[in-house]
Chains A and B, each alone.
Chain A
Amino acid sequence: AQSVTQLDSQVPVFEEAPVELRCNYSSSVSVYLFWYVQYPNQGLQLLLKYLSGSTLVKGINGFEAEFNKSQTSFHLRKPSVHISDTAEYFCAVSARNSGNTPLVFGKGTRLSVIA
């Protein structure tokens, strides 16, 4: 079984400052990793994913994440945030060894960008 821990439930940050949202996972098998964003009153939108290859993954809206297998982490970063980045962010994993595996989510991190 897999589990995901998002280490911060809320992250306030000033506009144009950098931000890092932390995600650690636990799994006995290899995993795929995902970050989703949910804007107020909207559904989930995929930000980026790690399937294989380069451990630094670039996504939409200037976000990137780095897969660190030894630390079982997949932290999300953005060098300069905008007001429009205010949203809830979810880290998720799925097992690589099965085609019929659900996503397991963390509890989310609420990013608030302050003008």
Chain B
Amino acid sequence: DVKVTQSSRYLVKRTGEKVFLECVQDMDHENMFWYRQDPGLGLRLIYFSYDVKMKEKGDIPEGYSVSREKKERFSLILESASTNQTSMYLCASSLVRDRSSPNYGYTFGSGTRLTVV
């Protein structure tokens, strides 16, 4: 099975800190995504990447940046954490060439619950 691993399950950071959230997938997926989940708002796309060093803004990129230096790793960066970035962050990946197969889908990590104090 494809695995998407997020490095931390829970994280507490102080306002103004630079925060790195790491995501690694082990099945050579081209696409990787970062979502933010908040009660009543569902999952909102922050950034996604379809190749190494490529990135696209999602719906809510403000206050975030990303890095994809290797195909298997996609990092979300909070340059200066703020309390309104307290949330659950979910990473996902998908395989482009699977699109015509019954196996096509998106695989999610377990999430990182970030609290900024």
Contact = CB atoms under 8 A, between A and B. Distances in A.
Interface string A98-113: 0110111111100000
How large, as a class, is the contact surface on chain A? 20 to 34
Contact of A44 (B30, B44, B50, B108): B108
A65 to B, nearest CB: 15
Contacts, number: 55
A9 interface: yes
Interface of A: 6, 9, 32, 34, 36, 42-44, 46, 49, 51, 90, 92, 94, 99-100, 102-108
Interface residues of B, number: 26
Interface stretch (B14-22, B62-70, B76-84, B99-107): B99-107
B90 A51 contact: no
Given A44-B90, A90-B42, A103 B33 contact: yes
